[in-house]
Amino acid sequence: MKKIERGDRETARWQIILRHISLAIAVGLTLFMTSITVAQQPARPNIIIILVDDMGFSDVGCYGGEIETPNIDRLAANGLRFTQFYNAGRCCPTRASLMTGRHPHQVGIGHMTEPPDTSLGFEGPYQGFLNDNCVTIAEVLRQADYHTLMTGKWHLGIHRKECWPRQRGFDRFYGCLSGAVNYFKPGGGRGITLENSPTETDQDFYATDTFTDYACQFVDEAVEQDDRPFFLYLAYNAPHWPLNAKWDDYQKYKGKYRDGWSALMQRRLAKQKSLGLIDENIVPATHVGPDWETLNAGQHERLDSIMAAYAGCVDSIDQNIGKLLKHLEQLGELDDTIIFFLSDNGACQEGGVLGRGNEEMVKNPPLETTGGVRLGLAWANACNTPFRLYKHFVHEGGACTPMIVHWPDGIPAETRGLFVRQYAYLPDLMASCLELSGAQYPNSVPPCEGRSIMPLLTGSREPVHSTPIFWEHEGNACVRWGKWKLVREYQKPWELYDIAADRAEMRDLATANVEQTKKMIALWTAWAEKNQVAFPERFNMYEFLKKKRSAEKK
Q: Which residues are the active-site residues?
A: 91, 155
Which of 55, 81, 49 lies closest to 316, judged by CA?
55
Check: CB of residue 88 under 8 Å from CB of residue 428.
Answer: no
Residues facing residue 472 across a β-bridge: 477
The Cα–Cα gap between 365 and 374 comes to 12
For residue 377, the cross-strand partners are none
What kind and span of H or E run contains 50?
strand 46-52
- For 127-160, the DSSP string reads SSS--SS---HHHHHHHTT-EEEEEEE--S-SS-
- Given a contact cutoff of 8 angstroms between Cβ atoms, the answer to whether 426 and 87 are in contact is yes
**DSSP letter (8 states) at residue 43:** P
Cβ neighbours around 156 below 10 Å, total: 25
Contact 402/81 with Cβ under 8 angstroms? yes
Q: How far apart are CA 389 and CA 385, in angstroms?
A: 10
Cα–Cα distance for residue pair 500/438, rounded to 1 Å: 34
DSSP 286: P
- Reduced to 3 states (helix: H, G, I; strand: E, B; else coil), residue 164 is coil
Q: Is 203 left (phi over 0), alpha (psi -120 to 50) or beta?
A: alpha
Residue 392: strand pairing partners: none
Under DSSP, the state recorded for 533 is -
Sign of the C-alpha dihedral, residues 289, 295, 298, 300?
Answer: positive
Helical axes 297-331 vs 260-275, angle rounded to 10° = 30
d(CA 440, CA 432) in angstroms, rounded, equals 12
Element at 213 (helix H, strand E) = helix 207-225
Where helices occur in 391-468 by DSSP H, the ranges are 396-399, 427-437, 454-457
First to last CA, the chain: 103
Bridge partners (DSSP) listed for residue 102: none
DSSP 236-276: --TTSSS----HHHHHHHTTTTTTHHHHHHHHHHHHHHHHT
CB atoms under 10 Å from CB of 360, counted, come to 12
